[in-house]
Amino acid sequence: MSEHDPAGLIDRLKQIVGPMGFREGTDIESKNFQDLMGARAVPPRLLLRPESTEQVSEILKACHAAGQPVAPQGGMTGLVSAAAPLDGEISLSFERMKKVEEIDRFTSTMTVEAGVELQTIQEQAEAHELLFPLDMGARGSCTIGGNLSTNAGGNRVIRYGMARDLVISVEAVLADGTIINGLHKLRKNNTGYDLKQLFIGSEGTLGLITRAVLKLSPKPSSQAVALCGVKDFDSVANLLVHTQTSLGSNLSAFEVLWVNTYKLIKEYVPHVTVPISDKYAFYVLIESMGSNAQRDKELFVDAFGQAADSALVEEVVIADSDTKVNNLWAVRDAAAEVIGAGFMHAYDVSLNIDDMGYFGEEVERRLREVWPDTVIGLFGHIGDGNVHILINIGPDTKDHHLDIDEIIYGLIQELNGAISAEHGIGLMKRQFLSYSKSDSEIALMKALKNTMDPDGILNPGRIF
Ligand code: ZN
């Protein structure tokens, strides 16, 4: 028992996980304490790397008894600084819990441990002619435990839903070490409260997800992608309705770049070639996935013929090869690459579609009122009402982030939108939580937190 560990907690934790199961001091790599936002990088007191649910349970039992705060982590790719440890916290990484336990062809499910990377899950599903549709840029490093605890979104939510919609059941460990083994493969199960929802999207504040049964879909055999130039937001909204009607369940992405983002891509992401001139107000990427290549292609081409006839689109490029499909997606994905050029992290908000055209103009007007040289770029998963915003108000953009937050979230509050669509709250948005949640909702959230984690050891200070 060392003098820095009067209660013997650190020794006890090391004993639980064994020599391979922890790192301390300078042996802790920055990937285990620096998250993607990079705002704060404080090494944890100790990094724990358990290899089983039982070890997670023993760890939390000991930390609960000692009142020791714990910061759980997946791939550290979150965008609201929820997983980077705060002073004095112990980090708990799932990097040694990465078994794919079972793929069941008849229930179309996959049972996994929390530390499996998203890309591994996608590849395993594909090898069985199945699809795990959750997808985002961080697929190679983010983990399913992180995806579930943040209820991650991404590009195909319009068809398949968010992480919450892609999971049948979870196993989780409560703050006091109690294991809640809720694993099952039943798509229909109305036996009382759906407890898994407490752990999904709660950012590690109510319990730690250790295993999950994921819902797989049939693997589509056809893919078609188009990029369209559109004259105004009304036409974008009508094009959404048109493609939902004409493509039906084949519609798998409806992504929009405002022209301001399109121009930023041209300027700052030289390795991407934009296929249409920048004279339109909006650029819409539409994807269809289906199971009959010939019929799906005809349906797709017809849909754009009708869209052109009714003046919903001014110009269309349809990809007719895998390379061209990838090139069109590269244009959409390049929006995230603009950030390197002095822009703030992309804001993540959601709104009703019919407020979105106004929002795009008004947010720029309000920012320019304060900082006349402001440059913004809007883009996002508009089929889901989710918009991201790139912002550069000048050389000291980052110093003014709270003032920028206030302007954006204030407008979102006026429009009854959500200050987070898919990134979560973490540390970065917690002071604005009341802009999108009522007092009674926040009171119920706090009551749940107090019931499930009375001493506040799980990811304290995140969300509220
Ligand atoms: Zn997004």
pLDDT digits (tens, 9 = 90+) for 125-135: 999 999 999 99
Between the CA of 256 and the centroid of ligand 1 the distance, in Å, is 11
Which of 324, 373, 339 has the alpha carbon at shortest distance from 269?
339
Specify whether domain 222-335 bears CATH 3.30.70.2190.
yes
Residue by residue, DSSP assigns 274-320 as -SS-TTSSEEEEEEEEES-HHHHHHHHHHHHHHHHHTTS-SEEEE--
pLDDT at residue 3, rounded to an integer: 54
Instruction: Please report, for residues 203, 243, 299, the alpha-carbon distance to residue 326 in angstroms, rounded to integers and kept in the order given.
Output: 32, 21, 21
Between the CA of 349 and the centroid of ligand 1 the distance, in Å, is 10
Between the CA of 388 and the centroid of ligand 1 the distance, in Å, is 7
Helix residue spans in 40-173 (DSSP H)? 53-66, 118-127, 144-149, 157-160
Between the CA of 199 and the centroid of ligand 1 the distance, in Å, is 21
Between the CA of 101 and the centroid of ligand 1 the distance, in Å, is 29
Q: Which residues pair with 226 in a beta bridge?
A: 286, 318
Q: How confident is the model at residue 296 (pLDDT cuts 50, 70, 90)?
A: very high
Q: How confident is the model at residue 2 (pLDDT cuts 50, 70, 90)?
A: low
Between the CA of 154 and the centroid of ligand 1 the distance, in Å, is 5
172 pLDDT above the threshold of 70: yes
Between the CA of 423 and the centroid of ligand 1 the distance, in Å, is 8
Say if strands 251-258 and 109-113 run parallel, antiparallel, or are unpaired: unpaired
Q: Where are the domains of the chain?
A: 6-96, 100-218, 222-335, 342-442
Q: What is the mean pLDDT of residues 218-239?
A: 97
Q: What is the mean pLDDT of residues 18-41?
A: 90
Between the CA of 53 and the centroid of ligand 1 the distance, in Å, is 31
What fold does the segment set 342-442 form as a domain? Answer: Alpha-Beta Plaits (3.30.70)
Between the CA of 387 and the centroid of ligand 1 the distance, in Å, is 8
Between the CA of 428 and the centroid of ligand 1 the distance, in Å, is 17
Between the CA of 334 and the centroid of ligand 1 the distance, in Å, is 12
| pLDDT tens figures, 51-79 | 999 999 999 999 999 999 999 999 999 99
Q: What is the mean pLDDT of residues 337-347?
A: 84
Q: Which CATH class is domain 6-96?
A: alpha beta
Which of 81, 55, 58, 85 has the alpha carbon at shortest distance from 71?
85
Between the CA of 82 and the centroid of ligand 1 the distance, in Å, is 17
Task: Count how many residues are written for the chain.
Answer: 464
| pLDDT tens figures, 376-430 | 999 999 999 999 999 999 888 888 999 999 999 999 999 999 999 999 999 999 9
CATH architecture of 100-218: 2-Layer Sandwich (3.30)
| pLDDT tens figures, 259-273 | 999 999 999 999 999
Same topology, domains 6-96 and 222-335? Answer is no
